[in-house]
A and B are shown apart, each in its own frame.
Chain A
Amino acid sequence: KAGVTQTPRYLIKTRGQQVTLSCSPISGHRSVSWYQQTPGQGLQFLFEYFSETQRNKGNFPGRFSGRQFSNSRSEMNVSTLELGDSALYLCASSNTLRESPLHFGNGTRLTVT
């Protein structure tokens, strides 16, 4: 069974641009979560989707948004990029909202210059 796939692995963007990251969950998994990982703040929760509905949202500005498609694939978008958005963005999937552990992808490393 294929794991969680995140694309692209690396991205370099300029301040003010926008970016879209993609996540394909493990087949059969309907829940997708996104986390931001930085050296200073550690892992911070962005949002969680289940069956195309956002079920939970972390404490991030509205520039961070996401969505989930009918095939459970998810995208997250960051608009008007800031230097502080440079981070590793991790996606995780599970087959229910709470019962099973999260399975993570390899992440997308975003660098904002």
Chain B
Amino acid sequence: AQTVTQSQPEMSVQEAETVTLSCTYDTSESDYYLFWYKQPPSRQMILVIRQEAYKQQNATENRFSVNFQKAAKSFSLKISDSQLGDAAMYFCAYRGRNSGNTPLVFGKGTRLSVIA
């Protein structure tokens, strides 16, 4: 079974600085999707960024970028120019592409605080 591990339960960053959230995963599949979701106090899970495993280029969405290391099964999220609104729980998630109707598998999350 696939597993996703986020080793940092909590992180903090100064406003305007850069922070990196770690995520590792375990799978025997070769083709899959990886996601980062943000969950603010409003509780809604918001998709931050998505990476397809067969694409070598790291995904980027404005201030958010990932460092995808397929061989190491690592998928970290970098937030540049951190803003107060970035404070939230961040979840890394995995979904297989070819192994049937597999559900999204989430890590335990990292709580990010942004200090003004």
Residue ranges of A at the interface with B (Cβ–Cβ < 8 Å): 3, 33, 35, 42-43, 45, 48, 50, 55-56, 58, 88, 90, 92, 97-98, 101-107, 109
**How many chain B residues have a CB neighbour from A under 8 Å?**
24
Closest to A88 in B: B43
User: Complex: how many Å from CA A55 to CA B101?
Assistant: 7
For B47, list chain A residues within 8 Å (CB).
101-103
For A107, list chain B residues within 8 Å (CB).
43-44
B44–A105 CB distance below 8 A: yes
Our count of residue pairs bridging A and B at CB distance below 8 angstroms stands at 54
A42–B108 CB distance below 8 A: yes
Residue ranges of B at the interface with A (Cβ–Cβ < 8 Å): 33, 35, 37, 42-47, 50, 91, 95-97, 100-109
User: Complex: how many Å from CA A42 to CA B44?
Assistant: 15
27 contacts between A and B (CB under 8 A): A3-B44, A33-B103, A35-B104, A35-B106, A42-B107, A42-B108, A42-B109, A55-B101, A56-B100, A58-B103, A88-B43, A92-B45, A92-B104, A97-B101, A98-B33, A98-B96, A98-B102, A101-B35, A101-B47, A102-B45, A102-B47, A102-B104, A104-B44, A106-B42, A106-B43, A107-B43, A107-B44
